[in-house]
């Protein structure tokens, strides 16, 4: 069995300066307060033997899981490199293992060397292989049967009962299984599979919508086709092509009926050319129809009729206009007389004005004279002037007389004449106005007369015949229109008889259109069927099958792992059952326990291991166990496994870190008794801060022992280590 | 399954299905159409059960016997009951291989025929895709065109007369239809 002789630790975790510790006695006790480097010594041994295997998630040790600032750092913060040297001896050989890690160099800064007794040196991969050969113990087994970590006891004591199975798995070295199962759970392939199918399902839903729309259109077209007399069996390309040929024949017959020649039209080569074929047919129908004699005559007659109606309307309008103007002129003459009468009245007024003008002229010199006389008399004439210059009579007060004469005879006369003159001028203006109005009305009447004449001339020219004053153009036109209407009726009847032929042709094209739509929509639905033949569809099918196979394989793998985990747990517990039972009853000395039985079952919820602890009556004590009892249970499992591995185990030492936590004095005493017994077959290194435990070990271990005291730890120098034997 | 077949089945489902469930006459109609499709494929000794036991028993020309549990759904998963498993297990005693046949009534889906070894059949709600590793692809590829044909052929009869029409037709072609 391999044992440790000596360890040199430098720059590793709590250590800065190089320290040397001898392990060549059956029992080594490391004691000191918290954070003095006790655990670092045990960790250094583990790291030297297993390197990175004891770090990170795969170590199964919780405090060593973490990244960045939370990482479990090998190199001391004040050192550039960590180096641990272990001198180990077997029954026939001695060798040294030196593991080094330089800070900040990554993998390049990590190295391992093994020096044999004969002076040979192995390094790197060769050294790794050599150490595996020498140790013959995996890290997993080392952590369960050699090195009792502080946290496994702590976790077992502190965890909820439901989480104790996890700790039990770690105590039994089943963390790898658990890690793989956790990885499988995290990968959640089932969720991925579900998401994949859901994603394709979304596509299927959108395809379903498309189908619904196309199917609805197709059903609608089908229904219409059936209404046109087609059966379900006839909704095919053959029927469509048959209809096309029949349509060409009908067009030919129709042309013959019209006495026209048809354009050469070929039937469509397949249903997809239906649209252009139908366009050709419709175009040909329109051409034949437009060129048919009836249609031509109908068009001509309709045009002529329209023109006649227009001429008739123009004539009638013009006739009414003239009639209206004439009436206005008549009404004017009735009221004001005709042009001669108005002229005569005007002439008389002019003559009377001239007479009055003469009279006024005649009176005017006399009046002037009297005015001057009065003026003279008023200014200079003597008051005794008595002879009137106007009438020649002798009058007294001549001036007064003249004034009276003026007022009564001349002034009144002149005023009367001027009043009459004004009246006549007004009359003259009125007559002149009437005269102008008469001229205007007369001109209007003449203009309308000219227009009517022009309308009549247009009609005569259109009808190619002379129209005399005795002819009524409107009546002539009415007769002509009636005659055209009669002819148009005849043409219409003739057209109607042929319309049914062309309607039948057009109906065939409508049916062809429906058949085309049916075939088109069927084709579109068929396109969806073709999706399954595409590479993309086949690829997704393959992916889904591959994923399903993966899910199946992962399930199987998970089942196998769970089964292995259960089997390994059962085997380990079976082999160590009696030792565990013995140690547990021995440490606890609990009279209630005559037997401690551990069973392992499959956890129905998680599929992992579920551990059941039962007493001799089959009762489950774990929920009522004290923390000391739980510690004892964990310790018993470790010691039981360590002892059971016994002689066959290649490593002849065990490392125990803070194993007395939560134990009472009696339990500690009994634990020390067990360690004393175990030290017969294994070297035991115990690290403890518990002074009572330290004293018990000092006093009750009967084997040679070395005691190291670790104290006064400082960042730059590490712990002080003092040795007592 | 062709789009046309899906359309016809959806019309039947509209008339005979119970919305939101796979029960009701529609499920049995699909089962009977599947039995007829197996007949078209050349299977013999076909037994179609409307009520108890495995849905369909078939025997191939090479004398392979299959007990088929039929599931029709629009969803991504099906439910396999302990009764379904028991019924399949019972048939294994007579030399029948258990098969689960699933048809999703959505576009771009076909019948899935999956071997269901006793002991590996999960119960409860399972994703249809989880049957893929055990698919009998040769059989599926032969079944699909026959099923398209059978649905098209019998659509009008089923639409007008329902399940009774199919029962009569099953008897006429020699398929044993057990309703009790």
Residues from chain A that touch B73, judged by Cβ atoms under 8 A, are none
Q: What secondary structure, in 3-state letters, does A343-369 show?
A: HHHHHHHHHHHHHHHHHHHHHHHHHHH
The parent domain of residue A271 ranges over: 210-291+494-530
In this structure, are A366 and A260 located in the same domain? no
Query: Both tokens of residue A585?
Result: 């009853």
Is position A117 within any domain?
yes
How high is the pLDDT of residue A209?
94
Cα dihedral sign, A664-A665-A669-A672: positive
Residues from chain B that touch A544, judged by Cβ atoms under 8 A, are 129, 132
Pick from B108, B127, B133: CB nearest A531: B108
Confidence of residue B114 (pLDDT cuts 50, 70, 90): very high
Query: Both tokens of residue A538?
Result: 């086949």
Is position A232 within any domain?
yes
In this structure, are A111 and A85 located in the same domain? yes
pLDDT of A365 over the 70 cut: yes
What is chain A's mean pLDDT, rounded? Answer: 89
In this structure, are A340 and A437 located in the same domain? yes
Q: Domain ends where: A481, A515, A530?
A: A530
Compare all CA atoms of chain A with the CA of B137 and give the residue at the minimum distance: A545
Is position A321 within any domain?
yes
The parent domain of residue B63 ranges over: 3-178
A-to-B residue pairs, Cβ atoms closer than 8 angstroms: 58
Is position A69 within any domain?
yes
Each residue's pLDDT tens digit, A137-174: 888 778 877 888 877 777 766 666 666 787 788 778 78
Q: Domain ends where: A505, A530, A555?
A: A530
Each residue's pLDDT tens digit, A612-621: 888 888 887 7
pLDDT of A380 over the 60 cut: no
Query: Which pairing describes strands A121-123 and A110-116: parallel, antiparallel, or unpaired?
Result: antiparallel
Find which of A196, A201, A547 to mutate to test the B interface (most B CBs within 10 Å of its CB): A201
How high is the pLDDT of residue B132?
95
Find which of B9, B76, B107 to mutate to test the A interface (most A CBs within 10 Å of its CB): B107
Each residue's pLDDT tens digit, A526-564: 999 999 999 999 999 999 999 999 999 999 999 999 999
CA–CA distance from B109 to each of A28, A210, A413, B151 (Å)? 73, 16, 131, 15
Q: Give the span between the Cα atoms of A509 and A468, in whole angstroms.
A: 58
Please give the torsion angle defined by the CA atoms of residues A600, A604, A609 and A614, in that order, rounded to the nearest 10 degrees.
-30
Cα dihedral sign, A377-A381-A383-A388: negative
How high is the pLDDT of residue A595?
85
Q: Give the span between the Cα atoms of B116 and B71, in whole angstroms.
A: 14
Q: How far is A521 from chain B (nearest CA, A)?
A: 12
Q: Domain ends where: A481, A502, A530?
A: A530
pLDDT of A593 over the 90 cut: no
Each residue's pLDDT tens digit, B132-170: 999 999 999 999 999 999 999 999 999 999 999 999 999
Each residue's pLDDT tens digit, A418-457: 899 899 999 999 999 999 999 999 999 999 999 999 999 9
Is position A191 within any domain?
no
Provide CB contacts within 8 A for A504, sequence distance 6+.
A250
| Helix, strand, coil tally for chain A in percent (to 5) | 65, 15, 20
For residue A124, the surrounding DSSP H or E stretch is: helix A124-135
Instruction: Provide the number of structural domains found in chain B.
Output: 1
Considering only CA atoms, which of A681, A694, A697, A685 is closest in space to residue A657? A685
> How many CA atoms lie less than 13 Å away from A591 in the CB half-sphere?
0
CA–CA distance from B30 to each of B24, B45, B154 (Å)? 11, 19, 11
Query: Both tokens of residue A49?
Result: 């033997």
B106–A211 C-beta distance less than 8 A: no
Provide CB contacts within 8 A for B90, sequence distance 6+.
B53, B54
Quote the pTM value.
0.64
Considering only CA atoms, which of A165, A294, A6 is closest in space to residue A602? A165
Residues from chain A that touch B13, judged by Cβ atoms under 8 A, are none
A528–B127 C-beta distance less than 8 A: no
How high is the pLDDT of residue B180?
56
Judge whether A610 and A95 are in contact, CB under 8 Å.
no
Helix (H, G, I), strand (E, B) or coil at A13: coil
In this structure, are A419 and A509 located in the same domain? no
Q: Give the span between the Cα atoms of A404 and A635, in whole angstroms.
A: 172
Query: Both tokens of residue A210?
Result: 């498309």
Judge whether A684 and A703 are in contact, CB under 8 Å.
no
Beta-bridge partners for A28 = A685, A706
Q: Give the span between the Cα atoms of A327 and A550, in whole angstroms.
A: 112
Is position A247 within any domain?
yes
Confidence of residue A221 (pLDDT cuts 50, 70, 90): very high
In this structure, are A106 and A10 located in the same domain? yes
Q: How much of chain A, in percent, has pLDDT values that exceed 90?
A: 60
Is position A160 within any domain?
no
What is chain B's mean pLDDT, rounded? Answer: 93
Considering only CA atoms, which of A413, A402, A411, A408 is closest in space to residue A370? A402
Each residue's pLDDT tens digit, A202-219: 999 999 999 999 999 999
In this structure, are A270 and A306 located in the same domain? no
Q: What secondary structure, in 3-state letters, does A553-605 show?
A: HHHHHHHHHHHHHHHHHHHHHHHHHHHHHHHHHHHHCCCCCCCCEEEEEECCC
Q: Is A192 left (phi over 0), alpha (psi -120 to 50) or beta?
A: alpha
**Tokens 């006429």 belong to which residue?**
B172
Helix (H, G, I), strand (E, B) or coil at A259: coil
pLDDT of A519 over the 70 cut: yes
Q: At what angle do helices B3-16 and A473-531 cross, to 10 degrees?
A: 90
A193–B109 C-beta distance less than 8 A: no
> How many CA atoms lie less than 13 Å away from A631 in the CB half-sphere?
20
Q: At what angle do helices A189-227 and B3-16 cross, to 10 degrees?
A: 90
CA–CA distance from B73 to each of B69, B70, B129, B142 (Å)? 13, 10, 13, 21
In this structure, are A268 and A321 located in the same domain? no
A526–B3 C-beta distance less than 8 A: yes
Q: Give the span between the Cα atoms of A160 and A151, in whole angstroms.
A: 15
In this structure, are A111 and A245 located in the same domain? no
Contact residues, chain B to chain A, C-beta under 8 Å:
2-4, 6-7, 76, 106-110, 127-133, 135
Longest dimension (CA), chain A: 205
A204–B106 C-beta distance less than 8 A: yes
Cα dihedral sign, A269-A270-A272-A274: positive
CA–CA distance from A177 to each of A8, A137, A139, A181, A645 (Å)? 34, 18, 14, 6, 21
Q: Give the span between the Cα atoms of B171 and B178, in whole angstroms.
A: 10
- CATH number of the structural domain spanning residue B138: 3.40.1350.10
Judge whether B97 and B115 are in contact, CB under 8 Å.
yes
In this structure, are A414 and A459 located in the same domain? yes
Residues in chain A: 725
Please give the torsion angle defined by the CA atoms of residues A684, A688, A693 and A698, in that order, rounded to the nearest 10 degrees.
50
Instruction: Provide the number of structural domains found in chain A.
Output: 3
Considering only CA atoms, which of A649, A658, A707 is closest in space to residue A678? A649
Lowest mean pLDDT among A76-90, A112-126, A377-391: A377-391
Residues from chain B that touch A208, judged by Cβ atoms under 8 A, are 106-107
Q: Give the span between the Cα atoms of A436 and A44, in whole angstroms.
A: 142
Residues from chain B that touch A525, judged by Cβ atoms under 8 A, are 3-4
Between these two residues, A63 and B80, which has the higher pLDDT value? B80
Q: Is the CB of residue A232 less than 8 Å away from at least one CB of chain B? A: no
In this structure, are A103 and A1 located in the same domain? yes
For residue A613, the surrounding DSSP H or E stretch is: strand A609-614
Is position A262 within any domain?
yes
pLDDT of B102 over the 70 cut: yes
Residues from chain B that touch A545, judged by Cβ atoms under 8 A, are 132-133, 135
A193–B130 C-beta distance less than 8 A: yes
Residues from chain B that touch A203, judged by Cβ atoms under 8 A, are 108
pLDDT of A382 over the 70 cut: no
Query: Both tokens of residue A18?
Result: 């190089």
pLDDT of A647 over the 80 cut: no
Q: Which phi and psi angles does B51 have, rounded to 5°?
A: -125, -80
Lowest mean pLDDT among A293-307, A370-384, B36-50: A370-384
- B109 CB neighbour count, 10 Å cutoff: 18
The angle subtended at Cα A429 by Cα A427 and Cα A430, nearest 5°, is 65
Between these two residues, A558 and B180, which has the higher pLDDT value? A558
Confidence of residue A623 (pLDDT cuts 50, 70, 90): low
Report DSSP letters for A400-466, one per residue: HHHHHHIIIIIIHHHHHHHHHHHHHHHHHHHHHHHHHHHHHHHHHHHHHHHHHHHHHHHHHHHHTS-
In this structure, are A517 and A426 located in the same domain? no
Judge whether A270 and A249 are in contact, CB under 8 Å.
no
Judge whether A395 and A384 are in contact, CB under 8 Å.
no
How high is the pLDDT of residue B96?
97
In this structure, are A306 and A448 located in the same domain? yes
Longest dimension (CA), chain B: 42
Q: Give the span between the Cα atoms of A398 and A380, in whole angstroms.
A: 13
Q: Give the span between the Cα atoms of A12 and A719, in whole angstroms.
A: 12
Report DSSP letters for A23-63, one per residue: --SSEEEEE-STTSSHHHHHHHHHHHHHGGGGSSGGGT-GG
Judge whether A182 and A628 are in contact, CB under 8 Å.
no
Q: Give the span between the Cα atoms of B16 and B3, in whole angstroms.
A: 20
Considering only CA atoms, which of A137, A162, A141 is closest in space to residue A60? A141
Q: Give the span between the Cα atoms of A628 and A592, in whole angstroms.
A: 15
């Amino acid at each position: 069995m391999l044992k440790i002789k000596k360890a040199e630790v430098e720059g590793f975790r709590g250590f800065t300066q190089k320290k040397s510790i001898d392990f060549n006695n059956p029992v080594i006790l490391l004691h000191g307060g918290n954070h003095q480097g006790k655990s670092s010594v045990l960790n250094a041994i583990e790291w030297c033997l297993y390197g990175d295997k004891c770090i990170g998630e795969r170590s199964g040790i919780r405090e060593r899981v973490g990244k960045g600032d939370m990482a479990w750092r090998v190199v001391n913060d004040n050192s550039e490199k960590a180096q641990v040297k272990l001198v180990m001896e077997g029954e026939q050989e001695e060798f040294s293992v030196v593991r080094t890690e330089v800070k900040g160099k990554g993998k390049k800064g990590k190295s391992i060397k093994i020096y044999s007794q004969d002076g040979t040196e192995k390094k790197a991969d060769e050294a790794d292989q050599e150490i595996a050969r020498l140790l013959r113990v995996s890290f997993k087994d080392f952590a369960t049967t050699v090195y009792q970590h502080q946290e496994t006891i702590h976790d077992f004591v502190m965890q909820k009962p439901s989480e104790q199975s996890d700790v039990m798995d770690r105590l039994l070295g089943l963390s790898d299984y658990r890690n793989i199962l956790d990885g499988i759970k995290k990968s959640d392939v089932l969720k991925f599979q579900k998401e994949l199918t859901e994603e394709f399902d979304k596509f299927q839903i959108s395809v379903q919508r498309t189908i619904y729309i196309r199917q609805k259109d197709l059903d609608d077209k089908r229904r219409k086709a059936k209404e046109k007399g087609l059966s379900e069996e006839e909704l095919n390309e053959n029927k469509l092509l048959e209809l096309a040929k029949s349509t060409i024949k009908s067009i030919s017959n129709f042309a013959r009926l019209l006495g026209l020649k048809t354009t050469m039209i070929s039937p469509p080569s397949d249903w997809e050319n239906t649209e252009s074929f139908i366009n050709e047919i419709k175009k040909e129908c329109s051409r034949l129809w437009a060129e048919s004699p009836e249609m031509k005559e109908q068009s001509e007659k309709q045009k002529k009729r329209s023109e006649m109606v227009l001429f008739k309307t123009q004539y009638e309008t013009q006739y009414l206009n003239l009639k209206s103007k004439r009436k206005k002129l008549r009404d004017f003459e009735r009221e004001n007389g005709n042009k001669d009468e108005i002229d005569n009245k005007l002439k008389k007024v002019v003559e009377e004005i001239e007479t009055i003008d003469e009279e006024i002229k005649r009176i005017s010199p006399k009046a002037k004279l009297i005015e001057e006389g009065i003026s003279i008399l008023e200014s200079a004439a003597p008051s005794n002037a008595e002879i009137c210059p106007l009438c020649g009579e002798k009058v007294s007060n001549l001036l007064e007389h003249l004034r009276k004469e003026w007022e009564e005879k001349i002034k009144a006369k002149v005023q009367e004449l001027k009043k009459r003159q004004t009246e006549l001028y007004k009359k003259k203006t009125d007559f002149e106005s009437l005269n102008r109005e008469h001229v205007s009305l007369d001109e209007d009447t003449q203009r309308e007369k000219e227009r009517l004449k022009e309308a009549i001339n247009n009609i005569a020219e259109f009808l190619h015949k002379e129209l005399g004053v005795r002819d009524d153009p409107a009546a002539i036109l009415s007769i002509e229109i009636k005659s055209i209407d009669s002819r148009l009726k005849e043409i219409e009847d003739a057209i109607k008889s042929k319309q049914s032929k062309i309607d039948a042709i057009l109906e065939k094209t409508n049916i062809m259109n429906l058949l085309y739509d049916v075939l088109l929509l069927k084709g579109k639905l068929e396109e969806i069927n073709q999706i399954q033949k595409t590479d993309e569809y086949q690829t997704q099918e393959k992916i889904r099958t591959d994923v399903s196979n993966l899910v199946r394989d992962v399930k199987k793998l998970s089942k196998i792992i769970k089964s292995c985990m259960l089997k390994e747990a059962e085997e380990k517990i079976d082999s160590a059952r009696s030792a565990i039972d013995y140690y547990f009853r021995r440490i606890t000395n609990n009279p209630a326990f005559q037997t401690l039985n551990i069973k392992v079952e499959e956890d129905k919820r998680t599929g992992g291991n579920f551990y059941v602890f039962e007493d001799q009556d089959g009762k489950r004590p774990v929920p009522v166990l004290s923390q000391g009892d739980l510690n004892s249970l964990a310790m018993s499992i470790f010691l039981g496994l360590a002892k059971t591995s016994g002689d066959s185990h290649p490593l002849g030492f065990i490392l125990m870190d803070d194993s007395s936590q939560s134990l009472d004095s009696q339990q500690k005493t009994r634990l020390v008794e067990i360690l004393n017994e175990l030290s017969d077959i294994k070297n035991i290194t115990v690290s403890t801060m518990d002074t009572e435990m330290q004293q018990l070990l000092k006093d009750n271990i009967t084997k040679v022992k070395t005691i190291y005291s670790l104290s006064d730890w400082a960042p730059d120098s590490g712990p002080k280590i003092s040795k007592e034997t | 399954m062709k789009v046309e077949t899906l359309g016809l089945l959806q019309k039947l489902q509209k008339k005979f299905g119970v919305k939101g469930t796979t029960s009701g006459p529609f499920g049995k109609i699909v089962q009977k159409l599947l039995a007829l499709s197996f007949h078209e494929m050349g299977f013999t000794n076909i037994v179609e059960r409307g009520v108890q036991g495995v849905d369909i028993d078939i025997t191939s020309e090479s004398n392979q016997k299959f007990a088929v549990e039929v599931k029709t759904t629009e969803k991504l998963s099906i439910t396999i009951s302990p009764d379904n498993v028991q019924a399949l297990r019972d048939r294994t005693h007579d030399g029948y291989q258990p098969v689960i046949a699933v048809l999703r009534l959505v576009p771009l889906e076909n019948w899935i025929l999956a071997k269901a070894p006793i002991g590996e059949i999960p119960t409860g709600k399972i994703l249809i895709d989880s049957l893929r590793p055990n698919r009998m692809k040769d059989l599926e590829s032969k079944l699909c065109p026959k099923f398209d044909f059978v649905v098209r052929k019998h659509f009008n009869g089923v639409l007008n007369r329902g399940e009774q029409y199919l029962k009569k037709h099953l008897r006429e072609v020699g398929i044993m239809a057990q309703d009790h």
